Chain A
């Protein structure tokens, strides 16, 4: 197993160990059904310290245990919780269980500080992040069905392969991984063990990235204002290895302008980003639009090797 270079791991570890306190309360409409007649005045609340790289469907087990305990505390009721029917919402908006938790938080809760646009630490909604858990009325039209652990695993592997395809042009390296290494990827993610995950991820996928450029950058742009998701293959070889994240976003949003040979210029010297049309948020922080894209793909990816960037 190759040795992990510690220098790079500094950011990878920071990304990996990022956590988010979540306060989960039972939705009003489910309270009566679950707790019966003795519905307490204050809603039952559950707190969890979730990894930003994890998925909501992975904390469902803990939430379910808590809810069952509540149910038992309320007498004479058979357990009625189906894990595949559990869903979460923030301010009434259903949360997509197949997004990493960090991305969900960035997408839903990070705001411009009131007044100023340029202030670095973004004013967020207060912590802990309060979301509600729902047991019925699964919004199948807005969320992927069947949010079980296995489904999440399959979805994660699909994402992983997609990212690999974009980088390398084929998924051969992932497909050729031994069964136990593939299992280790998932086990590393679910148990939040950095070494287990990165031993495979680094050795199998990122080993020779140093020498050759990835073909495309696996980047996904999320816009909250129009709740659009943009994923454009960024041909890094064409754009050059020094492409900044701002340039990349500009290319992604207006690729036809690149074709005409007039790429929109971000002004890297303008640190205040006054003219930047968007604010780039990644892992809960604002990233300067002058940050090199290549470096970002190597250091600030989510475990599925995508850069999930939220634009404000």
Chain B
């Protein structure tokens, strides 16, 4: 089929359909309008019918009403009126009667209520009486009990009085013993005095010998000594060589007790390197320096605004520093007793600080998690290191302070390079609690200490390069001795009942490194032997937590301070 024909018949069909629709189209409008009209018409018809209905009903009603009006009778009306009045009267009388009855009912109810109240009150009275009877009975029983008790107490007191008597007798005996001992001591002292005199005489002889020797050309060791100069400042040097023969002693006797040196708690103590002075610091914001022999107060150094946390002598003992809760470090010159530096910059309390070997700078650690190095020539902070944990104590590994050790509250020991400010090493797993103090050991060799060249031991006794061991004290009740070459624990010191006294409880090596001392929270001082790692002695003089304990450089004297106002000098 061609397109044309297809198209053609389609056109035809379409035309047909269209014509069909055209024929129809006209009707559409017509039908619509027809329907509208039809609708209207029907509505109107309905309305009309309705109106018609209403009209007729109204008319009939009207007619009915008219009929009723006509039929209304006056007589009937009057009779009805009378009847109504009668009924109303009846209603009123009945109403009155009803109200009377209501009233009576109300009164009855009232009486019933009051009666029940009475009954209840009686019951309560009975109950009260019963309880009071019971109370009286118990009171009686109690009184009987107390009578018995008094009997018993009286008998006991009798016993105690007898006990007291025996105790007093015992005391008398002990007092007599003490007297004996004092006499003994007296004789000892006399003996010592004699010995001292002898020594002095010998020293005089020595001096004479030396004077003679000076006339000869001096030996090389003496030359070195002179080059270093100032060795007299390092009284230690002499002492070390003097006492090399005498090992450090376990403290046994308290030869001096200072009671209440501060107004308030004591926080720290330090012994000067020549052993002549002891400094303490405490809550009363003062640093006090005592003579280590007589215990006399030499200086009172004030200036701190809050409590003193840490004091430290410079290697030459001419300066002393104190760190304080007021975030500052203060340095006093001991010859004048005046403040030389006030170093501010920390934003937390400064818990520890140390001088370097030449007192040229101070390195401090603070609660604000920083370690700062202070230049004492210029008097300001030359380096700040940010640590991730706040640190409780520090130690210098070398006299220049280029490498330092810090003990942190996160139980970690860190090693810092002060030049670069980097953390060189972290020693973890040592302690299970915050580290409270660090101390570098003097040489821990069994060889005679005299083998150490006297110059080195003199100049760098606190920071000796030979001294390769570190003591760490921690809140977990253990102390570790570390080899500083390997940073591995050489030995653990622990003791039953040992518990560090505070967050900054300082432990110390003795001058020869053979002993370690640390004070416990209950006031007991523990002395360990570093060769056996055993407790060598426990000494109890203090009654409250010990905050610091130090030997002097000779190892002959020992100093300890407790929180509650007692400083003890031991020998």
Contact = CB atoms under 8 A, between A and B. Distances in A.
B35 A10 contact: no
B227 interface: no
Interface stretch (A154-162, A168-176, A194-202, A280-288): A280-288
Given A11-B13, A75-B49, A66 B38 contact: yes
Contact of B17 (A18, A70, A120, A242): A18
A288 B9 contact: yes
B34 A47 contact: yes
B16 interface: yes
Given A18-B20, A21-B27, A49-B28, A291 B46 contact: no
B45 to A, nearest CB: 5
Nearest to B24: A19
A181 B16 CA distance: 33
Nearest to A292: B1
Given A69-B42, A73-B42, A19 B18 contact: no
Contacts of B27: 21, 47, 49, 127-128
B32 interface: yes
B31 to A, nearest CB: 4
A72 to B, nearest CB: 6
7 contacts: A21-B31, A47-B27, A47-B30, A72-B49, A73-B46, A287-B13, A288-B12
Interface string B8-45: 01101110111111011001101110110010001001
Interface of B is mostly: helix
A20 B24 contact: yes
A127 B24 CA distance: 8
Interface in A119-151: 120-121, 127-128
Contacts of A47: 27, 30-31, 34-35
Nearest to A242: B1
Contacts of A17: 21
A21 B17 contact: no
A300 B28 CA distance: 23
A69 B45 CA distance: 9
Contacts of B20: 18, 283-285
A221 interface: no
A291 B13 contact: yes
A109 to B, nearest CB: 12
Contact of B32 (A15, A20, A49, A128): A49
A14 B19 contact: no
A192 to B, nearest CB: 13
A285 B49 contact: no
Contacts of B18: 14
> Main secondary structure on chain A at its contact with chain B?
mixed
B20 to A, nearest CB: 5
B28 A21 contact: yes
State which size class the interface on A falls in. Answer: 20 to 34
Contact of A286 (B16, B24, B34): B16
A285 B35 CA distance: 29
A165 interface: no
Contacts of A72: 42, 45-46, 49
A120 B13 contact: no
A15 B13 CA distance: 11
B480 to A, nearest CB: 84
A46 B45 CA distance: 17
A290 interface: yes
A83 B27 CA distance: 27
A20 B32 CA distance: 13
A72 B45 CA distance: 9
Interface residues of B, number: 26
B306 to A, nearest CB: 86
Contacts of B28: 19, 21, 49
Contacts of A75: 49
Interface in A84-143: 120-121, 127-128
Contacts of B45: 72-73
Contacts of A286: 16
Contacts of B38: 46, 66, 69
B19 A121 contact: yes
A236 interface: no
B37 to A, nearest CB: 10
A48 interface: yes
A242 B5 CA distance: 13
- Among A10, A47, A75, A292, chain B packs the most CB atoms within 10 A around the CB of A47
B24 A14 contact: no
A10 B14 contact: yes
Given A21-B30, A290-B9, 16 more contacts: A11-B14, A14-B17, A20-B24, A21-B27, A46-B38, A49-B28, A70-B42, A73-B45, A73-B49, A284-B17, A285-B13, A285-B17, A285-B19, A286-B16, A287-B16, A288-B9
B570 to A, nearest CB: 104
A14 B24 CA distance: 13
A214 to B, nearest CB: 19
A120 B16 contact: yes
A46 B12 CA distance: 34
A21 B25 CA distance: 9
A49 B17 contact: no
A46 B34 CA distance: 8
A283 B17 contact: yes
Given A49-B31, A75-B49, A291-B9, A127 B23 contact: yes
A106 B28 CA distance: 19
A72 B14 CA distance: 46
A283 B34 CA distance: 26
B24 A21 contact: yes
Contacts of B49: 72-73, 75
Contacts of B32: 49
B180 to A, nearest CB: 121
A19 B29 CA distance: 12
Nearest to A283: B17
Nearest to A15: B17
A306 B17 CA distance: 18
B361 to A, nearest CB: 89
B26 to A, nearest CB: 8
A70 B27 CA distance: 23
Contacts of A14: 14, 17-18, 21
B42 to A, nearest CB: 4
Pick the 7 closest A-B CB pairs, nearest first: A21-B27, A285-B16, A69-B42, A49-B31, A47-B31, A14-B17, A284-B20
Nearest to B21: A18
A283 B23 CA distance: 14
A258 B16 CA distance: 32
Interface string B480-504: 0000000000000000000000000
A70 B41 CA distance: 10
Nearest to A14: B17
B35 to A, nearest CB: 7
Contacts of A283: 17, 20
Interface string A55-88: 0000000000010011011010000000000000
A47 B21 CA distance: 17
Contacts of A288: 9, 12
